[in-house]
Amino acid sequence: MKIAVCVKEVPDAAAARRIDPQTKRLDRSGDGVLNEFDTHALEEALRVKEGSGEGEVVVLCLAPERAMNSLRKALAMGADRAVLVADDAAAGSDLVATAKILAKAIERESPDLILVGQQGGDSDGAVLWGSLAERLRLPLVSQAASLELSDGKARSKRQTEFGYDVLEAQLPCVVAVSDAINEPRYPSLKGIMGAKKKPQEMLSLADLGVDVAEAGEAGSRTEVLALTDPPARGDTQRIEDEGGDSAEKIVAYLAEQKLV
Amino acid sequence: MPGTLVFVEDHEGEATKGSLGVLGKAASLDGEAAAVLCGSGIASIADSLGAHGASTVYVADDAALESPLPQPRVDVLAKLVQEQGFDAVFFASSVLSADVAAGLSARLDAGLNWDLTDVELQEGRLVGKRPALQDSVVVDVGWTEGPALALFRTGSFEPGEGGAGNAAVETIDVPLEDFSTKTAMVERAHEEKSGPSIEDADVIVAGGRGLGEPERFSLLEDLAKALGGAVAATRAVVDAGWYPYATQVGQTGRTVSPKLYLACGISGAIQHKVGMQSAGTIVAINKDPNAPIFEYSDLAVVGDLNEIVPKLTELVRQRRQS
Amino acid sequence: MTARPADFAPPFDAVQFVTEPTDPPDERIEVGALVVGAGPGGLAAAIRLGQLLEQTPELRERLGEIPIAVLEKGKAPGAHLLSGAVVNPRAFRQLFPDLVAADLPLIAPVEHEGVYFLTRRHAQRIPAPPTMWNHGNYVASLGEMGRWLAERAEELGVMIVPETAAEKLLVTGGRLVGVRTGDKGRGKHGEKLANYEPGSDVTARVTILAEGTQGHLSGIALQKFGLASRPQVWALGVKEVWEVPRPLYRVIHTMGWPLRGARRYREFGGSFIYPLGESRVAIGMVVGLDYTDATLSVHDLLQELKGHSFVRAILEGGKRIAWGAKTIPEGGFLSLPDSLSFSGGMIVGDGAGLVNVPALKGIHYAMRSGMLAAETALDAIRPGQTAWTPGALAGYDQALRQSYIWKDLERVRNMRPAFQHGFFRGAVLAGAAMNSLGRFPPRDLKLEPDASVPVFIGDRAATYPAPDGQLFFDKLSSVYLSGNKTRDDAPSHIAVRRQVRREVAETWVHMCPAQVYEIAGDASPAGNVVEVEVTASNCVQCGAISAKGGRLLAAEGGSGPEYQSM
């Protein structure tokens, strides 16, 4: 079984994240790290592989060249191979362009299962897999809180606003996992030391047969227009309580806000 | 007849509140607002949508759409948008809608902006508002070409009833791609927990060290029950073993964004703030008039929670019963 | 009422951190040379050894698949590095003779500088003591320097392993044969969590301990191999980085206020304010940890300092963007271990106490000592040699004694202890000591361990400014800014007694810049024993607790602060 795991490099949460006023994009100049949500997808892929006793786990990423450092963390955790699509022309790609490029990279691998994390830790985007499944013309399960494979099918519990559904998708399929699915492992010291020697492939858009006009800003259908300050939070109303007499005022306030 | 199409999600025979809010917003923009309903045996919902601003309601009623799965819905919407040439398609955020929107984006090569809290017309162009970086900045986003797909944050718009009331109802075909039917629902949603988890809850009652002792969490549990919400805790009290780690809100715990966050005996250090600052309304009760949490609360109550909370619980219960 | 922190020795036994290798031989990780710590000392050692091995491929061959490995406990090289910093570029020139200043990770040369004596309302410029002249030195960020050095090391084939704490010394028959790394994924009470990952034995032909200040294994090695006979003393530095609207064109040091000059307080220290390019300023406060008032808090003194009109004018309209804290070994020459080499290992940099306090310099000593250790290591891995042959690593001690490090430290050796007598008397004594180039006083002054100094509950906290989120900040929001997001269910890595005299507890509460310690329950009068609560996940691993009555142990690799450019 071949499993592709799509991962993202995000700016380190420790760095004060900022939006570059010129490009209006998230400033990605600082250190990048592997998106934490994606480590759950990778962990699940490793468990599937270990459970079946055979197979290959490939991590795929679209990011600037230096993201290979972050991919090494995935290799240290146990992925067999890393494929990084790094091309200056891909900078600023939105969902349309990103999904197009990643779908090409996935097709090149023809995996039996594609795993994705629950969201991007930087943009709070939680949509990529929907576009990937569509472009790959494969069945989709999102928000998977569990995953079992048998008889050519992936069975998952899907977490929704209303509770848990149980879904079954025919392989090959795209599964976006929730962070409740597992606890990602720590890379072992041996894993960290061995990571550098694992195959690491760097691809350009041309390697994937993607026209530069379909990537980056040229290939995007959305744009950032301006940055503004958030509306100021309304003034704080203050109540000094006397022996619990504020309870009624609180209820009145909540009623006014239609919260009770 | 270009205009805005709104994907109306249904649950247990009713349109979701979020969908109706978005529909109302769409109707308030220039051009007409249409709604699309996908499901099996959902035609009855269609009639109610005119009141929320829909001029036309497209109904895709088919057994293949019975389960709330995204891919068949992408098929329905793609055909409808291509035939009718909508300028925009709006979605109220949910697990299902996000997947439909993303699939539609890929099918139509249409731009999708997500996590929007509002949208407006600027010189005839649609502009979305997306709070970013823990809501410290608002990003104005646009669409360069093709239909504009927009996914709105939960609770962005309250449903109103300002529409004309009469929508034309049209039944539409359900064309299905082969891969769209390869996911099946084996079991329909069921709750595994007694109350909502803190991530799902609309109301959170949270307790901190100001409670004084672990037993007082029962006061908060009572209040949460009355409000239909969940109980959360700060790191300090979780550390002290007063409440389980799964309920910890903050930097090293969960991040929550309920409609109401009621903070009891919480001083409000930044490690806590980053986990709950995007809550709709924040009410804080604390004995210390200088507690930092008051700086970012909507309602600041300086007082003894032991006196206030039981009375509050009682009043909320009375209100519910009446 | 006074109490001595030293009377409440922490529940800590060095023996627990010395072990024979426990992994089966085929599971051990074998490396050629092992460096513990990716700071300036460790990376300079790795780079120097890498350079030497490039010239001697046959030796490199002998070292196996991983000729040089560097273990780093922080998330990445630089994550736990913090300094002012004004750097003497001497060691850089020695390590990279082909590079010019513009190629090095230095921000700008020091062109103007001033030393000021502060009172509450005034700032009086005073002549800078010669030790503090910085002509020819450069302002730099140690964190950036660490990242840069790590890249150079990797180019030479050095394996840098971040997020990995060296927890135990591997000792066989009195020889250091490597280290054991710490476990990951343990729960609060040490239980194994679902993602538990045991540590590993890493064995090496030679080990260089470059852990920096309060090095966990360096301290154990000094004890285990009987290397130190004189106590070390420390200072605590708390630093912020500000984005400022107006550039600062000079390097500033201050003495005096907010420290008190009276002898009984023993408050020795000062502040630094450095320009980091056009738009950023580093500001820090450093205070010796032999102070006596339990309510002294270096973090809050830094806040108070920022309220001084002289300092406020520099920061006005700016924004705080980073915060961190770290201890500095201050004993200098008088605290140097008798030897810095032992069977199989060497100690370099701050971990060895190679800091020149009057000059406020240590980075180039760390780098230089790392280079010297690397050169000795090379000799010890030649055919027919081992690092365990008696005296095999003694060359490192000899090289150190002949280096400028030794000469510099010897010359200023009596300046720090002079200040045990309060600021003014100290200044006079120190001046005399310096003007005589170390010959006065004729005998070495004595240093007393910081934890042995009795503390009392004074009133220093009375004037700390209230946090306003603009100029003045509380400890917790500062910890947040350090990038620390250590998980809360990790085992505590701090060994302290939980029941101590109130004076000692108050000392920890105030001293700790990260709000790790709190006194449980209600106030009780001084002298009573109180219960101390420890929130270890706040800890930024500055090391102050180890100086003042506790012991910092190895935290889970990857935890602690994530400094970006301190």
If DSSP states are collapsed to H, E and C, what string results for C73-142?
CCCCCCCCCCCCCEECCHHHHHHCCCCCHHHCCCCEECCCEEEEEECCCCEEEECCCHHHCCCCCEECCH
Written as six digits, the tokens of C485 are 């997001």
Q: Residues C304-309: what's their mean pLDDT? A: 98
Task: Identify each DSSP E strand in B54-213 by its residue range.
Answer: 56-61, 88-92, 112-116, 118-122, 125-132, 137-143, 148-152, 168-171, 183-190, 203-207
Residue with tokens 């538990």: C196
B308 touches chain A (CB under 8 A): yes
**Mean pLDDT along residues C94-105:** 94
- Cα separation, B113 vs B120, in Å, equals 13
Interchain contact, A14 vs C75, CB within 8 Å: yes
Q: Average pLDDT, stretch C268-284? A: 94
**CA–CA distance, C353 with C368 (Å, rounded to integer):** 13
A69 part of contact set with chain C, CB < 8 Å: no
Instruction: Report how far residue C418's alpha carbon sits from residue C428's, in angstroms, rounded to the nearest whole number.
Output: 8
pLDDT at B239 (0 to 100)? 82
Q: How confident is the model at residue C237 (pLDDT cuts 50, 70, 90)?
A: very high
Confidence of residue C434 (pLDDT cuts 50, 70, 90): low
Average pLDDT for C284-301: 97
Averaged pLDDT score across all residues of chain A: 90
Q: How many whole angstroms separate alpha carbon B195 and alpha carbon A35? A: 31
What HEC string does C367-405 produce? HHHHHHHHHHHHHHCCCCCCCCCCCCCHHHHHHHHHCHH
Chain B closest-CA separation from residue A151 CA (Å): 14
Residue with tokens 């990011």: A63
Long-range contacts of B281-287 (CB under 8 A, 24+ apart): B281/A254, B281/A257, B281/A259, B283/A250, B283/A253, B283/A254, B285/A241, B285/B309, B286/B210, B287/B210
Please answer yes or no on whether C480 and B271 come within 8 Å at the CB atom: yes
pLDDT computed for residue C429 by the predictor: 62
Q: Which residue has the tokens 């003779």?
A: C97
Distance between CA atoms of residues B58 and B278, nearest Å? 35
Chain A: closest CA distance from residue B56 (Å): 27
Q: Which whole number is the average pLDDT over A146-175?
A: 92
pLDDT at A164 over 60: yes
Rounded Cα distance, C239 and C101, in Å? 26
Residue B184 has pLDDT above 80, yes or no: yes
User: A-chain residues within 8 Å CB-CB of B178?
Assistant: 137
User: Rounded CA gap, B308 and A241, in Å?
Assistant: 8
**Three-state DSSP class for A74?**
helix
CA-closest candidate to residue C91, choices C78, C105, C77, C79 = C105
Percent of chain C with pLDDT over 90: 85
- High-pLDDT (> 70) share of chain B, %: 96
- Chain center to CA of C450: 16
> What is the C-alpha separation between C460 and C293, in angstroms, rounded?
7
The answer to whether C299 and C325 are in contact (CB under 8 A) is yes
Nearest to C185 among A15, A186, A193 (CB): A186
* Whether A66 contacts chain C with CB within 8 A: no
Tens digit of each residue's pLDDT (9 = 90 or more) over C218-236: 999 999 999 988 999 999 9
Q: Tell me the pTM.
A: 0.88
| Residue B269 at interface with chain C, using a CB cutoff of 8 Å | yes
* pLDDT tens-digit readout, C327-353: 999 999 999 999 999 999 999 999 999
CA atoms of C270 and C287, how far apart (whole Å): 7
C-alpha C31, offset from chain centre: 26
Higher-pLDDT residue of B156 and C275 is C275
Contact of A203 with A83, CB cutoff 8 Å:
yes
Sort out which chain B residues have CB atoms less than 8 A from A241's CB and list them.
285, 301-304, 307-308
Bridge partners of residue C181, in order along the sequence: C166
Residue B5: is its pLDDT beyond 90?
A: yes
Q: What is the pLDDT of residues C104-153, one digit of tens each?
A: 999 999 999 999 999 999 999 998 888 888 999 999 999 999 999 999 99
Q: Do A250 and B299 touch (CB under 8 A)?
A: yes
Query: Shortest CA distance to A78 belongs to which of A158, A159, A186, A206?
Result: A186
- pLDDT tens, position by position, C60-70: 999 999 999 99
- Asked whether the bond before C390 is cis by omega within 30 degrees of 0, the reply is no
Question: In the complex, which subunits touch B with 3 or more CB pairs below 8 angstroms?
Answer: A, C
Most C CBs within 10 A among A17, A75, A189, hence the mutation to make, goes to: A189
> C365-403: per-residue pLDDT in tens?
999 999 999 999 999 999 999 999 999 999 999 999 999
Q: Which among C29, C321, C564 has the least Cβ separation from residue A30?
A: C564
User: Is the model more confident about B86 or about A17?
Assistant: B86
In terms of CA atoms, which chain B residue is nearest residue A236?
Answer: B298
Quick check: A85 pLDDT over 90?
yes
- State residue C441's pLDDT score: 62
CB contact under 8 A, A189 and C202: yes
Sort out which chain A residues have CB atoms less than 8 A from C563's CB and list them.
14
* Strands (DSSP E) found in C257-349: 269-276, 280-288, 319-329, 341-342, 345-347
Pair of tokens at residue C294 = 């339990």
**Region A125-151: what's the mean pLDDT?**
94
In chain C, residues with a C-beta closer than 8 Å to the C-beta of A73 are none
Q: Break chain A down into helix, strand, coil percent, rounded to 5.
A: 30, 30, 40
* Model pLDDT, residue B96: 94
Name every chain A residue with its beta carbon within 8 A of the beta carbon of C82. Answer: none
| Chain A: closest CA distance from residue C484 (Å) | 7
Please tell me if residue B67 touches chain C, with a CB cutoff of 8 Å.
no
Closest Cα in chain A, distance from residue B169 (Å): 28
Closest CA to B100 of B115, B112, B88, B82: B112
Please determine, for residue B1, whether its predicted confidence score (pLDDT) is greater than 50. no
Q: Does B48 touch chain C (CB under 8 A)?
A: no
Packing angle of the helix pair A36-52, A68-77 (nearest 10 deg) = 40
Neighbours of B224 (CB within 10 A): 25
What does the DSSP 8-state code read for residue C556? P
Q: Which of A232, A241, A4, A246 is nearest to A115 (CA)?
A: A4
Contact A158 B227 (CB under 8 A): no
**Confidence band for A27, pLDDT divided at 50, 70 and 90:** low
Percent of chain C past pLDDT 70, that is, above it, reads: 94
Contact B245 C535 (CB under 8 A): no
What crossing angle do the helices spanning C394-402 and C363-380 adopt, rounded to 10°?
140
Q: Is the pLDDT of residue C433 over 80?
A: no
Helix (H) or strand (E) holding A70: helix A68-77
Per the CB < 8 A criterion, the answer to whether B79 and B188 are in contact is no
Phi and psi, residue C269, nearest 5°: 160, -160
Restricting to B residues 226-265, those with a Cβ less than 8 Å away from any Cβ of C are: 235-236, 238-239, 245, 248, 251-253
CB C143 within 8 A of CB C566: yes
- Cα angle for residues B166, B171, B172 (degrees, 5° grid): 135
Backbone angles phi, psi at C507, to 5 degrees: -60, -45
Q: Which long-range contacts (CB under 8 A, 24 or more apart) does C146-149 make?
A: C146/C38, C146/C39, C146/C40, C146/C43, C146/C77, C146/C78, C146/C81, C147/C76, C147/C77, C147/C78, C147/C105, C148/C104, C148/C105, C149/C38, C149/C40, C149/C43, C149/C44, C149/C47, C149/C77, C149/C105
Residue C347, sorted as left (phi over 0), alpha (psi -120 to 50) or beta, turns out to be beta
Note whether B296 contacts A233, CB cutoff 8 Å.
Answer: yes
Q: Which residue of B has its CA nearest to A154?
A: B183
Identify the pLDDT of residue A18.
64
User: Given this model, what pLDDT does residue A120 score?
Assistant: 74
Given a cut of 80, whether residue A231 has pLDDT beyond it is no
Report how far apart, in Å, the C-alpha atoms of B177 and of each of A22, A137, B174, C127 are.
43, 9, 10, 83
DSSP C467: P
Q: Which of B119, B145, B301, B305 to mutate to test the interface with A (most CBs of A within 10 A)?
A: B301
How do strand C113-118 and strand C123-126 relate by DSSP bridges? antiparallel
In the stretch 270-299 of chain B, residues with CB closer than 8 A to chain A read 281, 283, 285, 294-299
State how beta strands A81-85 and A56-62 pair. Answer: parallel
